[in-house]
Amino acid sequence: MPLSESNEVALLADERTACVIDSYEGQVRCVDGEGAVAGVFGREGEGPGEFGDPTYLARGEAGTVGVVDSDLGRFTVFEPSGAYVSDVLLPDVFPPLPSFDTAVSGVSLDYMAMLDGGNSGSLMTRYDVTLASGQVVREEGSPRGPWDVGCGQVIYGIPDREEGWVFVACEGHLIFVGDTGDATVLRAPMYVPELPGERDVARLEEMLGGFNRRRGFPISQGVEERLESYRATPKNYHLSTGEQLFDDASRYWIATQRDQHEWSYLDVYENAEYVGSVRVRDRLRAFDLLGSTLVVLADRQVGADDADGIPDRALDWYDIGDLPFRR
């Protein structure tokens, strides 16, 4: 996989093709389980099939891939070969839910509500936008707190397959809200507070530098202050806000920051209860799953042959059909 500031991966409907974003080239690359390239597409511009800033991916139920462009506020659908299918403007730039059909759905974050701990209003807004016309057929705020989270801050949430939500909060807390509004608050059983390691710090430094570069700021602006605070603060339970989803049996999967040296861990919940963990090799950056296939975008361990000291990126494929909690 090419080096990239993006940690996006989408497993397509055939369960044999996955796509990632190459942020440095402004392209999308789709490959199969053996690493053969199915398509590489996109270039800088504003026309059909062009990108300002490809940011998020989703799979189409018809075997396509959708790309959210945060600069153009646009969702574009492609064949995995790169053939352009259609595009539609979005009412807000949002990470899409993992799959789409005739409409694309996603959630946007209210940063003011997050700063208030998610207790003064809806933290998230869900949008459903039809691909044919761009009409917003659903715009709905997430359930409101307050919830009994001792540390206070609710960070992000996603809707489940019914009418409920799951929120991640500080210090390893999860909030499962059902369709009736009843909430179950728990602290993740596998959460252990740990300070960031040097690889974590280096990764954040890269992300902050990339953020500054994309906005035309000096690369180092504000970075050292953020890194100093980060080094002294226990890591979150969740890997990032985007790395959580519901599988086709309504189980909730979340990528964690546990360990992440030789292995990484995905924790799984069913009916608001922890049911198990899946261990994958190397340092997980993103994941997607469909049916019995799990695909993981990972940073490899830096070895003696890596003269530049930069981890190689790779896609790993796992068959999860025999996991005990899936039977």
Contact 154, 166 (CB under 8 A): no
The average pLDDT across 143-158 equals 89
320 Cβ neighbours under 8 A, 6+ residues apart: 278, 289, 292, 293, 294, 326
Spelled out in words, what is the top-level CATH class assigned to the domain 1-101?
mainly beta
Question: Higher pLDDT residue, 146 or 39?
Answer: 39
Mean pLDDT, residues 214-222: 81
Min mean pLDDT across 41-50, 120-129, 131-140, 262-271 is at: 120-129
| Amino acid found at 224 | E
307, pLDDT greater than 70: no
Tens digits of residue pLDDT in 108-133: 998 877 777 656 679 999 999 999 99
pLDDT value at residue 223: 86
Residues 6+ apart with CB under 8 A from 255: 238, 239, 240, 243, 244, 264, 265, 266, 284, 286, 287
- Residue 303's pLDDT is what? 67
- Residue 176 predicted with pLDDT over 90: yes
Mean of the per-residue pLDDT values of the chain: 91
To the nearest 10°, report the CA torsion of 38, 207, 213, 314: -20
Q: Are 259 and 282 in contact (CB under 8 A)?
A: no
Kindly report, residue by residue over 283-306, the tens digit of the pLDDT: 999 999 999 999 999 998 876 666
Using a pLDDT cut of 70, give the percent of the chain over it.
Answer: 96
Q: Tens digit of pLDDT for each residue in 10-27?
A: 999 999 999 999 999 999
**pLDDT top residue among 202 and 317:** 317
The greatest distance separating any two alpha carbons of the chain, rounded to the nearest whole angstrom, comes to 56
The domain locations on the chain are: 1-101, 195-233
Full-prediction pTM beyond 0.75? yes
Q: How confident is the model at residue 205 (pLDDT cuts 50, 70, 90)?
A: confident
Question: Is the pLDDT score of 245 beyond 80?
Answer: yes
Please enumerate in sequence order all residues whose Cβ is within 8 A of that of 235, keeping only pairs 6 or more positions apart, or say none: 193, 194, 195, 196, 200, 257
CA distance 325 to 327: 6
DSSP secondary structure of 293-313: EEEEEEEPPP-TT-TT-PPPE
More confident residue, 198 or 268: 268
pLDDT of amino acid 204: 82
Q: What is the pLDDT of residue 120?
A: 63
pLDDT higher than threshold 70 for residue 262: yes
Amino acid at the residue 22: D
49-99 confidence digits (pLDDT tens): 999 999 999 999 999 999 999 999 999 999 999 999 999 999 999 999 999
